[in-house]
Each structure stands twice: as structure tokens, then as C-alpha cells.
């Protein structure tokens, strides 16, 4: 009998297992594919490895793919090593009851279960993946050659990252997005800036445009990047009575399903499909199983990072959302044209935008487009998370010359833009 069985060894499941191990529980971690889940094998790590390689002069695409695969294998080995003391089963799983799971070779008994089976690329009803002409974000990572032309259906995070990558590799890239802007849900000003930068790079951007308007014969490849869907098939959740909504596992604020000893974490919950949020949920789920004082999950302080060129990052609420909530805001901005380090790096496109509550001076959100935005957002994530006020950040001394000093420069009256 296990104390805890975790189905899925991606970021949520792996971090849940590591957290639970500290409490001395007998743990079983079950994964039908590869340890590391989407993030390591077909998401965060491989895409960023290719994006980095694309910045090098005279890139050899096959060598870049080999480097990407080598990084994945090294990280997989590291994760495998960290599972010492945890029973790892590489097998499909079906939940037979709240205390029994069927695997390929045997049934196992457990006191608690965490479902952490992640997500998969979402298909369009009228456009199915064929792995040849119409491909998913998984398929595109395993290409052997750079396509001459690429149509991307969907201008969200995944679509924009691949547009940036393959444009840098020399492909003719077009994006169609049915919403009025790229990156729906991101700050409108940031999205417009990215669109302008894309156009300068020769990327064709068509917003308010559906896939049905396109003649697919004009493109070598068509990437369908319209989102991701939770992985719940084959788990037996319907028979068990676990509540689902559009394949999402429904959970409460403690990550518990409607069955008292079954929890869920990560993309399978359909909340915020980001690896770092999945890891956070995994840790909280494990802590709530092992400790009597239940912890709730927070969703207001999760940074979103987009590895386009330039990078984009945001946290908290944006200007429009604040206005819709009736918050009287004050906006602080700094253009990277004024940054010495940005000029040294020759990456001056973009700006920092910080949003505060005008009455309280509390930082409630921030967005950045520009060099190292995904690193810089860490400072502002702390500010939002800890409810810091503008003077507390403004009066912090940050080193010169760095990109980070642009944050404090933005907060000095008449200094930013």
C-alpha cells in the first residue's frame, strides 16, 4: 500500500513527488511516456534551446536539433536521479477506485492520488494533425529541415514563439489570429508593439482572421497552434465519478477533486497552463495531503513569459483589466532606448510598464517587452506577490549598467516615458 500515487511525471507530478518525499511517505510516480512531461520533452526546454541556437550566426539546423535533444536527455537523467526513494513506473495507468490503480503489469493500492497528466496540442475540428502538412507544436520540434514557408494558425504564446524562431531561421512566416490582437489576454500596448516588430522582420500578421480564409497550397507547412487540451483520456475518471468540465479535472482551492482523497495539479486542471504554475500546484497538492493545515493556491502572482524576440513577460493585472475593475491606476514606463546595457547588447526595442493603484501606490501589475524580459519580471513578480508599494521599489539601489535598473528608472518622475 502506497501513501501517495501520482499519475504523470511532468512538472506538476515531479514536484509533487519531491515535496511528498520530504515527509517520508511511500510514493509511486507513474508516467506512460517520458519523465519531464510537456515542458521538458516538447515545450519549454526544447523550444528555448532552438530559440537560443537561432541567435547564433550561420546556424546548422540539424546540429541545433541534436543540441536540443542532448539538453533534454541530460535533464531527464537529472530528474531520474532525483527520484531516488520513489517507485517510478513507466506505464499507462487507469484509476479503478479512489484506492486502486491499474498499471500495465499490476494493480497498486494507495491512500491518496494526484492526477497530473498534463495536456496535449488542441486540434481544430476542420483541421486535423497529419504530421506532414498540418502539424502540431510537438511535430514542429522534430523537423529535419527548415520549411521555406510556414503558416501559423493561432497568434497566442505558442504561435508567436514559433513565428519568431522560424523567421530567424529564414522561413517566410505568416500568422493568422481570429482575435483582434496577437497574444490575446496580454496588455494591448505590448501586443501591438510585438506586431509592429514582427512586421519589420517580414512576418505577415493577420488578426481578426480565421483559418478558413487561407489557401493552404501557398505554404510548405501549416502549424496549428490554437491552444492545449487536458489529458484525461484512459484514466477512468468518468466511471470513477470525478467531475470534469470540457475534459478539465475540476478542483477546489486546495486542489482537491470531488473525491476526498484524489487531487489534481498542472495542465490537467485547465487553470493556468504554465510549467512553473504546474510545479507550484504540485507542491501545494502534496503539502495538502501530507499536512493538516491546508494551503490554498494563488493565481494573481503568476508570471507569464513569452520567448519571442524580443522577449515578453507580465505579472498581475494589465491596464485594461485594472480599469474594468474600477481601479484608479498610475502607469510608469521606461523605454529601453534609455538603457545603457540595452545599447551595449544592441537590443533597444521595447519598454517596461508598471501599473500601480494610484491611491495606495501598491504595485498591481507589470508588463515588459524587450531584452531579458523573462528574467526582469522576477523583480516585479515579487513586488506584486508581496504587495510592495512604488516607493519601496523606487528607493532600491540596482546595479549600473544593467537592464534591471530600468525598473527603478521607470518609477522616477519625469525620467521614464
Active-site annotation, residues: 400
Spatial separation of the C-alpha atoms in residues 71 and 408, rounded to whole Å: 36
> Of the candidates 125, 121, 119, 201, which has an alpha carbon nearest to the alpha carbon of residue 156?
121
C-alpha cell at 84: 531516488
Q: Which residues of 351-383 are buried (b: 16+ CB within 10 A; e: fewer)?
A: bbbbbbbeeeebbbbbbbbbbbbbebbebbbeb
Question: Is beta strand 363-370 parallel, antiparallel or unpaired with respect to 351-357?
Answer: antiparallel
Distance between alpha carbon 116 and the CA centroid of its chain, in Å?
16
Region of 241 (left: φ > 0; alpha: ψ -120 to 50; beta: rest) is left
Spatial separation of the C-alpha atoms in residues 137 and 275, rounded to whole Å: 16
The residue written with cell numbers 508598471 in the block is: 354
Strand residue runs (E) in 199-261: 204-207, 221-224, 228-230, 244-245, 248-249
C-alpha cell at 415: 525620467
Compute the chain's Rg from CA coordinates: 22
Instruction: Name the packing angle between helices 157-168 and 188-200 (round to 10°).
Output: 20
Spatial separation of the C-alpha atoms in residues 66 and 72, rounded to whole Å: 10
Spatial separation of the C-alpha atoms in residues 185 and 157, rounded to whole Å: 10
Cβ neighbours, 10 Å, residue 275? 23
296 contacts 149 by C-beta, under 8 angstroms: no
Amino acid at each position: 500500500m502506497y501513501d501517495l500515487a501520482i499519475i504523470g511525471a511532468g512538472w506538476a507530478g515531479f514536484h509533487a513527488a519531491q515535496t511528498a518525499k520530504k515527509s517520508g511517505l511511500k510514493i509511486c510516480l507513474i508516467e506512460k511516456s517520458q519523465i519531464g512531461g510537456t515542458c521538458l520533452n516538447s515545450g519549454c526546454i526544447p523550444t528555448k534551446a532552438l530559440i537560443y541556437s537561432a541567435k547564433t550566426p550561420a546556424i546548422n539546423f540539424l546540429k541545433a536539433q541534436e543540441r536540443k535533444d542532448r539538453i533534454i536527455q541530460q535533464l531527464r537523467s537529472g530528474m531520474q536521479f532525483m527520484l531516488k526513494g520513489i517507485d517510478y513506473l513507466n506505464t499507462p495507468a487507469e484509476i479503478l477506485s479512489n484506492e486502486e490503480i491499474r498499471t500495465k503489469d499490476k494493480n497498486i493500492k494507495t491512500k491518496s492520488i494526484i492526477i497530473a497528466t498534463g495536456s496535449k496540442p488542441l486540434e481544430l475540428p476542420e483541421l486535423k494533425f497529419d504530421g506532414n502538412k498540418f502539424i502540431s507544436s510537438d511535430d514542429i520540434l522534430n523537423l529535419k529541415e527548415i520549411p521555406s514557408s510556414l503558416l501559423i494558425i493561432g497568434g497566442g504564446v505558442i504561435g508567436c514563439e514559433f513565428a519568431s524562431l522560424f523567421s530567424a531561421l529564414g522561413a517566410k512566416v505568416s500568422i493568422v489570429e481570429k482575435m483582434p490582437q496577437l497574444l490575446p489576454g496580454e496588455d494591448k500596448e505590448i501586443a501591438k508593439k510585438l506586431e509592429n516588430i514582427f512586421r519589420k522582420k517580414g512576418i505577415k500578421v493577420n488578426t481578426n482572421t480565421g483559418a478558413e480564409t487561407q489557401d493552404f497550397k501557398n505554404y510548405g507547412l501549416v502549424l496549428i497552434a490554437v491552444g492545449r487540451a487536458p489529458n484525461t483520456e484512459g484514466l477512468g475518471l468518468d466511471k470513477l465519478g470525478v467531475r470534469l468540465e470540457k475534459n478539465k479535472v475540476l478542483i477546489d482551492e486546495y486542489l482537491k477533486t470531488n473525491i476526498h482523497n484524489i487531487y489534481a495539479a498542472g495542465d490537467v486542471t485547465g487553470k493556468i497552463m504554465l510549467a512553473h504554475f504546474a510545479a507550484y500546484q504540485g507542491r501545494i497538492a502534496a503539502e495538502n495531503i501530507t499536512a493538516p493545515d491546508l494551503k490554498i493556491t494563488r493565481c494573481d502572482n503568476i508570471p507569464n513569459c513569452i520567448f519571442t524576440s524580443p522577449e515578453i513577460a507580465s505579472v498581475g493585472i494589465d491596464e485594461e483589466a485594472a480599469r474594468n475593475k474600477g481601479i484608479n491606476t498610475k502607469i510608469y514606463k521606461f523605454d529601453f532606448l534609455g538603457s545603457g546595457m540595452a545599447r551595449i547588447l544592441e537590443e533597444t526595442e521595447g519598454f517596461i510598464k508598471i501599473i500601480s493603484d494610484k491611491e495606495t501606490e501598491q504595485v498591481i501589475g507589470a508588463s515588459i517587452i524587450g531584452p531579458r524580459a523573462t528574467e526582469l519580471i522576477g523583480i516585479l513578480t515579487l513586488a506584486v506577490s508581496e504587495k510592495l508599494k512604488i516607493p519601496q521599489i523606487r528607493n532600491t539601489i540596482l546595479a549600473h549598467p544593467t537592464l534591471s535598473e530600468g525598473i527603478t528608472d521607470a518609477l522616477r518622475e519625469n525620467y521614464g516615458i
